[in-house]
Structure 1
Amino acid sequence: MKISTKGRYALLLIIDLAQHQDEGFVSLKEIANRQGISKKYLEQIVIPLNQAHMLSSNRGSQGGYRLIENPRTISVYDILSATEECMLPVSCLETGNHLCDRENQCMIKWMWEGLSEVTQDYLKSISLQDLVDHTTPSKQTR
């Protein structure tokens, strides 16, 4: 599994919102400036996060975005699964994907399933609050 730029920037966007949640709605312009990410790109990233019911938005001069849930209840897996097309290590694990002629006699599919399970469990074990607690401005990277 390779996490795309969209997924990595989604994590930065969500961390920024969590760090500034006491300020109410936070504009994408502010986040873009703090994180060094294009506002246009952030506009694309908030769409799936809104659809996953992680964000609330407000229009107008006091507009912007804020988290709907407590950062302790949002996992890294939640964020990435909302923004990544696929969270599986190999395409043969995708539901309904029968591209492999060896699917029924595959000797290593169990290994890929195990890797997927371990990866998901790990990402589910890290909350947004964990990221906030371990993030300082000097440690943030893209």
Structure 2
Amino acid sequence: MITAKRVYDQALVLIDEVLETGAIVPDQPEYYEAKALSILTTLQTELLPLSVEPEIIKEMDQPLLVSDRVALTVLPYGLAAHLFISEDLTISSFFNDRYEELKKRKPTEIIPIVDKYNVTSGMRG
């Protein structure tokens, strides 16, 4: 399972908070991590199927409920967009556009439609 920390680290790489060695910049703004948990809670809830109850992300080592594919490909862009919004609106918009594009590609869950009002019974024949 992918953790909030893994997505957070990927988002920091996207916004160039990384050293030449690939390590995360140690003196990156402290508020990034504080904001990341709330932002990830919102983004994850947005990406979860309606059949899955959302969960508040309280710590960085908490596993995410979305699939690993969504956690690794979609969430980092959404998180980067939100973290960078006060730094550079143009770059933040780029990340948000990418997030929206990837969000549309995520696999969807097919669930049967329940005819609660008996609408289709008159259509059979």
- Please, what TM-score do these two structures have when normalized by structure 2? 0.29
Rg comparison, structure with higher value:
2
- Please, what TM-score do these two structures have when normalized by structure 1? 0.27
